[in-house]
C-alpha cells in the first residue's frame, strides 16, 4: 500500500524557496505542481488579517514551536543539556503501566490518550518538513503513545478570524510539551523515544490517532473524537517500549463506523467550506493508511482560502456538530 510522501503536502511545498536547490529538485520531480504552487505562494489576500499585536501572538507561537524541533529526538540532551546524565535504571527494577503514561499526558493537559503498535502506513514515506527533509522513514520506532489536547470552543467559533489561528498554535504548543514530557521520561528509563510535533513529525498524526482509538477520520479529513469532535490538536511519541504489553486501563476506544455514518448524513462542513475543498457527496477515495474508503479534502482549494483570509480559516471545525462537549 502506498505511503504519503511528506514533500507532497501543501505545507511542505509552500515552504520551498524559489531558486533554492530544494525547490529545483522538487519541481523537477513534480513539474505539474509548479504553476499552481507559485499562484498559491504569491497570492495576495488577508481579509481577516489582524493588527500587529494579534499577528505577533500567532507568529511568535509558531516561531517558538519551530525552535523546539531539535528536542523532538532528544538532540538537545545529546547536545549537552544534561551532560551529567546518570545511566538508566535496570528495566527489571520497575513496572511501567499505561496509566502512568496517561497520567503524565493528562498532567500536562491532554484530554485523550491511547497507544498502539503502528503499521508503516501511519508513517510518511519520505520526510518533507523539519530537520530531516528528504530522509526516507524506513525503520521508525513503531510503538506509539498518541494523545489529544482540546481547543476552546469559544476560540474555535471565532473562525476564520485570527483568534482561531492562535488557538491552533496554542494547541500545537501544548501537544509539543506533552510529547517532550513523555519522550524525556521514557529516555530517562533507558528507552528510545521521539516526539512528533507540528512540522517535525514522521507520523501522519490523524492516522496514528485513529489506530490508537482516539477517533475516526471525518468528512473534513480531520480526526473526529466522541467528546470534542474535531476541536482537538494531536501529538504522539514513538518508542521501543513495548506498548502492547502495557498493563492498566487507559482510554476507551471509539466505536468503529460511527463517524462515517454521521458524516454521510451531515455534510455541513462541505456546504460551509468557502473553498469548496470538502466533498459534498458520497465519493470516497481509498485511504493510504487503511485501504478503506474515506473522503478526500482538496488541499490546494483549502490553502487558497487560507491565503485569501490571512488566517487558517477553520470554518469546517467551527461548524462541525460532532462531539458531546
Ligand atoms: S461537519 Fe458534519 S460532515 Fe463535516 S466532519 Fe463534522 S460531522 Fe462530518
Ligand atoms: S479550513 Fe476552511 S477552506 Fe479549508 S477545508 Fe476547512 S472550511 Fe474549507
DSSP state of 124: -
pLDDT score, position 92: 85
C-alpha–C-alpha distance, residues 40 and 21, integer Å: 20
C-alpha–C-alpha distance, residues 322 and 145, integer Å: 24
Long-range contacts made by residues 118-121, C-beta under 8 angstroms, separation at least 24? 118/142, 118/143, 118/144, 118/203, 118/208, 118/211, 118/238, 119/211, 119/289, 120/3, 121/1, 121/3, 121/207, 121/288, 121/289, 121/290
Q: What is the per-residue pLDDT across 85-119, written as a single tens digit (0 to 9) for each?
A: 677 888 888 888 888 999 999 999 999 999 999 99
Confidence at 77, pLDDT banded by 50, 70, 90: low
Instruction: Assess whether the C-beta atom of 274 lies below 6 angstroms from ligand 2.
Output: yes
Mean pLDDT in the chain? Answer: 90
pLDDT score, position 120: 95
Q: What is the per-residue pLDDT across 174-200, written as a single tens digit (0 to 9) for each?
A: 999 999 999 999 999 999 999 999 999
Percent of the chain with pLDDT over 90: 72
Query: Whole-model pTM above 0.95?
Result: no
DSSP characters over 1-19: ----BGGGSHHHHHTPPTT
Which residue of 159, 269, 297, 314 sits with most ligand 1 atoms within 8 Å of its CB, as the best mutation to test the pocket? 269
Q: Which three cell numbers stand for residue 160?
A: 476564520
**DSSP H helical ranges for 190-240:** 205-211
Instruction: Assess whether the C-beta atom of 297 lies below 6 angstroms from ligand 2.
Output: yes
Contact 129, 200 (CB under 8 A): yes
Q: Under DSSP, is residue 290 helix (H, G, I), strand (E, B) or coil?
A: coil
Amino acid at each position: 500500500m502506498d505511503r504519503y510522501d511528506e514533500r507532497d503536502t501543501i505545507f511542505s511545498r509552500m515552504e520551498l524557496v524559489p531558486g533554492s536547490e530544494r525547490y529545483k529538485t522538487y519541481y523537477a520531480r513534480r513539474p505539474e505542481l509548479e504553476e499552481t504552487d507559485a499562484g498559491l505562494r504569491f497570492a495576495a489576500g488577508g481579509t481577516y488579517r489582524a493588527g500587529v499585536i494579534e499577528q505577533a501572538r500567532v507568529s511568535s507561537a509558531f516561531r517558538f514551536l519551530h525552535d523546539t524541533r531539535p528536542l523532538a529526538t532528544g538532540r538537545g540532551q545529546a547536545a549537552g543539556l544534561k551532560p551529567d546524565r546518570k545511566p538508566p535504571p535496570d528495566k527489571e527494577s520497575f513496572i511501567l503501566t499505561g496509566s502512568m503514561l496517561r497520567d503524565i499526558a493528562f498532567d500536562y493537559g491532554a484530554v485523550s490518550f491511547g497507544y498502539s503498535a503502528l503499521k508503516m502506513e501511519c508513517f510518511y514515506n519520505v520526510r518533507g518538513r523539519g530537520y530531516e527533509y528528504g530522509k526516507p522513514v524506513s525503520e521508525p520506532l513503531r510503538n506509539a503513545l498518541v494523545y489529544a489536547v482540546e481547543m476552546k470552543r469559544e476560540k474555535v467559533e471565532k473562525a476564520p478570524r485570527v483568534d482561531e489561528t492562535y488557538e491552533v498554535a496554542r494547541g500545537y504548543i501544548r501537544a509539543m510539551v506533552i510529547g517532550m514530557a513523555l519522550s524525556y521520561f521514557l529516555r530517562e528509563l533507558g528507552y528510545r523515544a521521539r516526539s512528533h510535533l507540528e512540522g517535525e513529525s514522521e507520523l501522519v498524526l490523524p492516522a496514528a490517532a485513529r489506530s490508537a482509538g482516539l477517533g475516526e477520520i471525518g468528512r473534513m479529513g480531520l480526526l473526529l473524537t466522541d467528546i470534542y469532535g474535531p476541536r482537538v490538536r494531536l501529538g504522539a511519541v514513538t518508542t521501543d517500549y513495548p506498548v502492547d504489553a502495557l498493563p492498566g486501563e487507559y482510554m476507551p476506544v471509539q466505536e468503529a463506523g460511527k463517524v462515517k455514518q454521521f458524516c454521510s448524513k451531515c455534510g455541513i462542513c462541505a456546504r460551509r467550506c468557502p473553498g469548496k475543498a470538502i466533498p459534498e457527496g458520497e465519493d470516497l477515495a481509498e485511504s493510504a493508511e487503511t485501504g478503506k474508503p474515506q473522503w478526500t479534502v482538496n488541499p490546494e482549494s483549502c490553502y487558497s482560502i487560507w491565503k485569501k483570509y490571512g488566517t487558517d480559516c477553520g470554518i469546517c471545525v467551527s461548524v462541525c456538530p460532532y462531539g458531546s462537549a
